[in-house]
């Protein structure tokens, strides 16, 4: 039986809205899903590990990878480069594993052009004040960096209508429930179940016809 490709979920949000926290909380409940680890030229934050949170590379290295066609998508965000490895993502999807891309709107557009079945989910904060408080309480960025992320928040949010689903991350557990519901609905779509569950369906229909 042919292997069904995994689902691809694109999750975007203004910085600090909670997309990384929501994805990690969902993955903690579902060991059979993965988040794609991007390459970036941004400096690691305290506690961030190379190969786990990002593949941290120098600008020259990133540009060489662009030239070699290694990225399915890449973009410059907040003055740094970020990109998604083509082969790693394709290999994971081919194994039937669902994958999350935590990427910005520019990357999301590039992915949609190449993989139109990708599901886009946009996370909104309840307000800009709350967004700023979250960036401050995360405690990992300087005031300048937070100001830069806040100045880009409205630009990122102006692309929310390019996505399939919107979630307001006010109460975390409610937002997680909504994210999980979207993901599970997608997994259960009949078209995706056909190869996995066709035998079961045939048996049930045969029995009901007896
Ligand atoms: N296009 C693209 N954007 C990415 C990628 N990885 C991360 N980003 C986006 O880059 C932005 C900055 O990410 P990061 O530096 O981790 O800061 P944070 O969003 O404040 O946690 C976020 O909007 C991410 O979604 C990627 O591979 N491609
Ligand atoms: N619903 C929520 N209520 C309160 N704090 C939240 C909520 N969601 C996320 N946070 C906190 O906000 C900060 C930013 O979240 P994070 O997941 O890093 O955002 P992003 O990945 O979108 O930049 C973190 O300190 C996180 O713990």
| C-alpha span between 145 and 116 (Å, rounded) | 34
89 lines ligand 1 (CB under 6 A): no
For residue 138, which of 149, 152, 126, 153 has the smallest C-alpha distance? Answer: 149
Q: Is-contact 118 110, C-beta < 8 A?
A: no
Which atom belonging to ligand 2 lies closest to the Cα atom of 138? Answer: 25
Which of the listed CATH numbers 3.40.50.300, 3.30.70.100, 1.20.870.10, 3.30.420.80 matches domain 8-36+97-202? 3.40.50.300
| C-alpha span between 134 and 16 (Å, rounded) | 6
Most informative mutation of 82, 100, 124 for ligand 1 (most atoms within 8 A of CB): 82
Tens-place pLDDT, residues 108-164: 999 999 999 999 999 999 999 999 999 999 988 899 999 999 999 999 999 999 999
ipTM associated with this complex? 0.97
pTM of the model: 0.92
Pocket of ligand 2 (CB under 6 A): 13, 15-21, 134, 137-138, 169, 172, 175
120 lines ligand 1 (CB under 6 A): no
């Amino acid at each position: 039986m042919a292997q069904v490709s995994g689902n691809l979920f694109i999750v975007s949000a203004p910085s600090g809205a909670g997309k990384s926290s929501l994805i990690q909380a969902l993955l903690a409940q579902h060991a059979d899903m993965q988040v794609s680890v991007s390459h970036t030229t941004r400096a690691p934050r305290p506690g961030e590990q190379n190969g786990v949170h990002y593949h941290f590379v120098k600008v020259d290295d990133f540009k060489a990878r662009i030239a070699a066609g290694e990225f399915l998508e890449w973009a410059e965000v907040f003055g740094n480069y970020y990109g998604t490895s083509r082969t790693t993502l394709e290999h994971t999807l081919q194994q039937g594993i669902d994958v999350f891309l935590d990427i910005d709107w520019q990357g999301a557009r590039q992915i949609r052009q190449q993989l139109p079945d990708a599901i886009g989910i946009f996370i909104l904060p309840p307000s800009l004040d709350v967004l700023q408080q979250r960036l401050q309480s995360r405690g990992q960025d300087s005031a300048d960096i937070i100001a830069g992320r806040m100045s880009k928040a409205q630009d990122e949010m102006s692309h929310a209508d390019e996505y399939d689903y919107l979630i307001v991350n006010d109460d975390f557990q409610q937002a997680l429930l909504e994210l999980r519901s979207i993901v599970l609905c997608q997994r259960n779509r009949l078209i995706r179940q056909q190869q996995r569950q066709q035998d079961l369906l045939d048996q049930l229909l045969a029995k009901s016809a007896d």
